[in-house]
Amino acid sequence: MNGKVIAAVVVIVVGVILGAVNFLESNVEYADFGTAERSGKKVQVKGEWMRDMESRFDMEKAQFTFYMRDDNQQVEKVVLEGAKPNNFEIATSVVAKGRFQNGHFHASEVLTKCPSKYEGDAESVKKTL
């Protein structure tokens, strides 16, 4: 076989393998804290930030810590590797991507859902009709 053909086949095979690994890493399913703790896999947990519980940023470790309640009402400590997400204070819900380690949910990413400036007040719409 020609050397160029062998090199092309190797490049294609490596590309397919890297693409498959990347897809599997980005394919993260939703779960609650209980399922996340039992599985040990990387998951996404949707919930609500517990505003009345401690939240803080540790500058030495570059970690933001807060408490979150999932849809099954289970409250867990979430440790985010990095700074507090933008608009965290006004978020209506939070999605933490990560896995359980050392008894806490360690998140690599936290997404916030904020109230939309385009959502109207239903009562004021009814009054204008």
Q: Report the CATH number at residue 107.
A: 2.40.50.140
Q: Is residue 121 part of a domain?
A: no
Rg (Cα) of the chain, in Å, rounded? 21
CA distances to 19, 20, 85 from 5, rounded to whole Å, are 21, 23, 48
Q: Half-sphere exposure of 60 toward its Cβ, with a 13 Å CA cutoff?
A: 0
For the purposes of burial, counting CB atoms within 10 Å of the CB of 109, is it exposed (0-12), middle (13-18) or buried (19 or more)?
middle
Domain total in the chain: 2
Q: pLDDT confidence of 2, banded at 50, 70, 90?
A: confident
Q: Are residues 43 and 88 in the same domain?
A: yes
Q: Is residue 2 part of a domain?
A: yes
pTM of the complete model? 0.68
Which domain does 22 fall in, by range? Answer: 1-28
Q: Are residues 107 and 47 in the same domain?
A: yes
Q: What is residue 120's predicted lDDT score, i.e. its pLDDT?
A: 56
- Looking at 63-67, 76-80, 95-99, 113-117, which range is the least confident one? 113-117
Q: What is residue 27's predicted lDDT score, i.e. its pLDDT?
A: 60
Q: Are residues 41 and 12 in the same domain?
A: no
Q: Is residue 120 part of a domain?
A: no
Q: Are residues 12 and 68 in the same domain?
A: no
Q: Are residues 40 and 80 in the same domain?
A: yes
Q: Are residues 52 and 71 in the same domain?
A: yes
Q: Is residue 83 part of a domain?
A: yes
CB under 8 Å to 113, separation ≥6 — which residues? 91, 92, 93, 94, 95
Q: Is residue 127 part of a domain?
A: no
Q: Are residues 66 and 82 in the same domain?
A: yes
Q: pLDDT confidence of 113, banded at 50, 70, 90?
A: confident
Q: Are residues 37 and 96 in the same domain?
A: yes
Q: Half-sphere exposure of 129 toward its Cβ, with a 13 Å CA cutoff?
A: 5
How do residues 54-86 score in pLDDT, each as one tens digit? 999 988 888 999 999 999 999 999 999 888 888
Q: What is residue 76's predicted lDDT score, i.e. its pLDDT?
A: 93
Q: pLDDT confidence of 18, banded at 50, 70, 90?
A: confident
